[in-house]
Each structure stands twice: as C-alpha cells, then as structure tokens.
Amino acid sequence: MPRSEKDILKDVKSLAIEYYELTGKPLGVTGEIAEYMAAETLGLTLCEARSEGYDAYGADGQKIQIKGRRVGPSGKWGRVPSIHTNKEFDTVQLVLIDKDHNLVEIWEATRADVIEALDKPGSKSRNERRSMAVPQFKRIGKRLHPKEPNASIDSEKKTCPECGHVFKGNGWDGIDAHWRSKHEDIMPYEEAWPLLKSGRYSSAS
C-alpha cells in the first residue's frame, strides 16, 4: 500500500535536518514542505507540478503562489524567495518554518500589494530579484496561521517569532529568560512582551 504524503514528509524533514547537520547546507526541499504545510493547514488544493505562476487553489478558486522560508542559523528569517510577478497568481502565501522544519506561521499578501512593494525603487533585491525581507512581507500581508491568540487557549505551545524556539511549558513560560539571553539586542523584553502576548509582534529579521 502506498505511503501517505504526510508519512513521506516526515522522512523528508528528518533527512533535511540530518543533511544540514552533516554538510551545513540546505537540502533544497523547503519549498515542497511549505506547499504541503499550507495545503494541509488551510485546506488548499495543490496544483500539478510545474503549474505556471501558482502552486495551489484556495477555497474560492484563487490562484496562490506559495513561498517557504526556514529560519537561518542565526535565528533570522532573511528574505522571501523570489516571487514570479510576471506570471499568473492572485495572492502569495509565505510559510515560515523553524529549524526542525515545523510550521511557525503562514502569511498572505495580494498580488497588487506584492508588486507595489517589489517595484519601489532603491533595492536591487526587490526590483530585479523580486525578493523582499520577511518583515516587509508581513507589513503588507495578513497572518493566516496561527490566528490571533485567544485568552481561552493561551496554554497552547508558543513559538518565539525571532528564532522558532518552541516553549515546552504552559503558554509563554520561559519567554523572559529566553528573550533576554537571545534577543534583547533586537528589542528590550519589557517592550517586546506586550507585543508577543497580544500576537502583534513582527520579527525584526
């Protein structure tokens, strides 16, 4: 009996982690993992391989280009992979993945907003490579997953938006010590905590 996509994905994730630890280089499967995660989480229908400009259909038929970004060794998100603005799509979804290839967040921006951001003068990466920094994408987009936090589910596992660290206690237990030791240079904990708790914090990477 053929194995399910989910079972195969588990093996791919394990191999990608092992390969990176051995060579220091990514295996090059982040895009495929991101597409599967977006489809499974948001109920998208993935297109056949090599579809022009888009990777999936949404519930109302919109054509979605999916980009995946795994957190870097320094804990930074870096840039969104090049977006094919010369091809057909309605929205772009950015899937953020932690160092162990687990889902952190999914963000979405419209075609118009993406093109407007990439066409702004002053950056070769934006204008020619059609790539923007992850925080910039977040500014023009909206978060689809996880949805805005609810006080009644605050005990769910929380993930550091800067480095992908998953807190093992209840909710944000341990965030103060983690933030002060890892990210105090980005934003003082006293300023970051209210944003983290409310879900309004946007990664500086």
CATH (one of 3.40.47.10, 3.40.210.10, 1.10.620.20, 3.30.2130.30) for 5-145: 3.40.210.10
For the purposes of burial, counting CB atoms within 10 Å of the CB of 137, is it exposed (0-12), middle (13-18) or buried (19 or more)?
Answer: buried
Q: What is d(CA 178, CA 184) in angstroms, rounded to the nearest whole number?
A: 9
CB 166 within 8 A of CB 157: yes
CB 82 within 8 A of CB 68: no
pLDDT in tens, 123-165: 766 778 899 999 999 999 999 998 755 434 344 678 888 888 8
Whose tokens are 């399910």? That residue is 4
> Which residue intervals of the chain bear CATH 3.40.210.10?
5-145
pTM for the predicted model, two decimal places? 0.66
pLDDT in tens, 33-88: 999 999 999 999 998 766 678 999 998 889 999 999 998 877 888 899 999 999 99
Instruction: Return left, alpha or beta for 93; rule: phi > 0 is left, psi -120 to 50 is alpha, else beta.
Output: beta
Angle ∠(129,40,33) on CA atoms, nearest 5: 45
